[in-house]
Amino acid sequence: MYKSKKTYILTITLIIFIVCLGGYWLVNRMQTNPADSKNTAVKTGTQNQYIPNLQEDKFENGVFIAADADKWGAYDGRSDLTEAAIPDSITYIGHSTFKNCVNLKSIIIPNSVIRIKDYAFIHCTGLKKADIPDSVISIGGRAFKDCTSLTEVTIPDSVAFIGIGAFKGCKSLTEVVIPDSVKTINANIFWGCTSLKSVTYKGKVFTDYNEFNNYVSKLSGTCVCAWKGEALIDAAVPEGCTAIGKNGFYDSKSLKSVVIPDSVTSIEYEAFQDCPSLESINIPDKVTYLGESVFENCASLTSIKIPQSITAINERTFKGCSGLQKIEIPDSVASISKNAFEDCFSLHSINIPDKITAISDCMFFNCSGLNEITIPNSITSIGGSAFWKCTGLKSIVIPNSVKFIDKNAFEFCSGLTDIVISDNLTGINKSAFNGCTKLKKITYKGKVYANPEAFFQAAEGCGVKIEYLID
Domain spans of the chain, in order of start: 2-32, 42-224, 232-345, 348-471
What pLDDT score does 245 carry? Answer: 82
**Mean per-residue pLDDT, 390-408:** 97
Helix (H) or strand (E) holding 15, with range, is helix 2-32
Model confidence at 32, pLDDT cuts 50, 70, 90, reads very low
Q: Which fold has domain 42-224?
A: 3.80.10
> What whole-number distance in Å separates Cα of residue 135 and Cα of residue 160?
11
For 205-233, write each residue's pLDDT tens digit: 988 766 787 787 777 776 666 444 456 78
Model confidence at 36, pLDDT cuts 50, 70, 90, reads very low
Distances in Å between the Cα of 97 and the Cα atoms of 31, 71, 270 are 22, 6, 28
Q: CA torsion 90→92→98→99, rounded to 10°?
A: -160
- CATH homologous superfamily, domain 348-471: Ribonuclease Inhibitor (3.80.10.10)
- What is the value of pTM for the model shown? 0.70
Instruction: Give yes or no on whether 42-224 and 348-471 have one common fold.
Output: yes
> What whole-number distance in Å separates Cα of residue 407 and Cα of residue 431?
5
Q: Is the pLDDT of residue 284 over 60?
A: yes
- What is the number of helices (H) and of strands (E) in the chain? 3, 37
What pLDDT score does 192 carry? Answer: 79
Model confidence at 139, pLDDT cuts 50, 70, 90, reads very high
Q: CA 436, 437, 442 angle in degrees (round to 5)?
A: 65
For 39-54, write each residue's pLDDT tens digit: 333 333 333 343 445 6
What pLDDT score does 217 carry? Answer: 72
Residues 100, 44: contact at Cβ < 8 Å? Answer: yes
pLDDT greater at residue 455 or residue 189: 455
Q: What is the CATH number of domain 232-345?
A: 3.80.10.10
Long-range contacts of 122-131 (CB under 8 A, 24+ apart): 122/96, 122/146, 122/147, 123/99, 123/147, 124/98, 124/99, 124/100, 125/149, 126/82, 126/101, 126/102, 128/152, 129/153, 130/154
DSSP letter at 467 equals: E
What are the residues whose beta carbons fall under 8 Å from the beta carbon of 288, sequence distance 6 or more?
265, 266, 309, 310, 311
